[in-house]
Amino acid sequence: MKLLLNTRRNVILLFCLFVLIGVGGGVVDAATSLDKRVDSLFVIASSGEIKYQKLVQPAIDRIAAIGVDAVPLLVDKMTTKSARERLTITNILKKIGSPAVPYLVQSLNNPDPLIVQRVCYALGDIRDTAATMPLTRETTDPVWQVREQSLDALGKLADMRAESAVVGGLTDTIGQVRKAATVAVGRIGIEKSVVQLVHILGDDFYGARMSAVDALMKMDTSKVIPAVHDSMTSPNPFVGDLGCFILGKIGSDRALNILMEQAINPDPRRRAHAVEAVIYADPLDNCGFRKGLIADETNRLVLLKITSAIQAVQHE
């Protein structure tokens, strides 16, 4: 009897063991199956071949339909050197949307900075503010590309909680990072940074300067105009020259008065920028400034600027 019981117990134990092995194998098989499914779909989704042209979007949609289970597999592919594949990954993650954010935020801890910067890019495209605070921590990363992409993403999220981190990026040592921070300030609408943006008009990096112009155009003009006016005496000529451009775009009476002050500046370069801005601000010459500007000008470069600007507004 005792032997029979032991035998039955052993049979039961063996049966349980086989069940566990079977279940475990099923999990492994399922995971392997998902990997293969995503891989095969991804080949089509990221293909540039004409024969797959009509299958690309359906393949993207099918991977996106898998949802969060596909996210780790897509993150693993982020080291690809193919621009098409990178874009495809981002498009799929964007379609998955907010459910993908928790794993992507976790992936910001990945030791590979290439993956981190591309995760930042994806989070910016998804535009879920749940990623705001994790992204702010990446704005001080030792790798400048990570700082750049995290600031770019924060600008897309447009969450005021990122204000401190974004403003800090305005003084980064790398021009591309300063540009990303400047764009983010404009997108978020951080009004208290107007003076800093005016200072960036003189940045060594062209991209940062022009991004500062765009950002200032999004700010309250009652703050921008006096800040630009005060900067006209800056020793950095870019600041005043681009300041003239901004005032011309604003085109208010106060802006035009400041431009007319600069139109008699001893520096012909500054006069050229000022008169050009006046003409673009008042294309129909409603204020009657042109006659005086032309009559008083002796510098050929400035006269050429006046003529070119008049011709340009006539054709618009």
Question: What tens digit of pLDDT does each residue of 250-272 get?
Answer: 999 999 999 999 999 999 999 99
Query: Does residue 82 sit within a domain?
Result: no
pLDDT at 16: 39
E strand spans, 201-263: none
- What span, in angstroms and rounded, lies between the C-alpha atoms of 148 and 144? 6
Residue 28 has pLDDT above 60, yes or no: no
Residue 65 has pLDDT above 50, yes or no: yes
Q: What is the mean pLDDT of residues 197-208?
A: 98
pLDDT at 30: 55
CA angle 134, 140, 145 (to 5 degrees): 95
pLDDT at 29: 57
Query: Does residue 200 sit within a domain?
Result: no
Domain span holding position 270? 230-316
Q: What is the mean pLDDT of residues 90-103?
A: 97
The larger pLDDT score, comparing residue 70 to residue 298, is at 70
Residue 11 has pLDDT above 60, yes or no: no
Give me the percent of the chain exceeding a pLDDT of 70: 90
Query: Does residue 252 sit within a domain?
Result: yes
Give me the percent of the chain exceeding a pLDDT of 90: 76
Query: Does residue 309 sit within a domain?
Result: yes
Residues 180-195 pLDDT 10s: 999 999 999 999 999 9
- How confident is residue 220, by pLDDT bands cut at 50, 70 and 90? very high
Across 71-87, b (16+ Cβ under 10 Å) vs e yields bebbbebbeeeeeebbe
Residue 18 has pLDDT above 60, yes or no: no
- What span, in angstroms and rounded, lies between the C-alpha atoms of 240 and 228? 8
CB 184 within 8 A of CB 164: no
**CA quadruple 128, 134, 136, 142: dihedral sign:** negative
CB 114 within 8 A of CB 79: yes
pLDDT at 305: 87
Query: Does residue 273 sit within a domain?
Result: yes
- How confident is residue 101, by pLDDT bands cut at 50, 70 and 90? very high
Task: Give residue 299's identity as a one-letter amino acid code.
Answer: N
Query: Does residue 298 sit within a domain?
Result: yes
- What span, in angstroms and rounded, lies between the C-alpha atoms of 39 and 37? 5
Query: Does residue 271 sit within a domain?
Result: yes
Residue 153 has pLDDT above 60, yes or no: yes
Among 28-32, 208-212, 223-227, 251-255, where is mean pLDDT lowest? 28-32
Across 208-244, b (16+ Cβ under 10 Å) vs e yields bbbbbbebbeebebeebbebbbebbebeeebbbbbbb
Three-state DSSP at 300 gives helix
Residue 10 has pLDDT above 80, yes or no: no
Say how many domains are in the chain: 1
pLDDT at 294: 85
Query: Does residue 165 sit within a domain?
Result: no
pLDDT at 31: 61
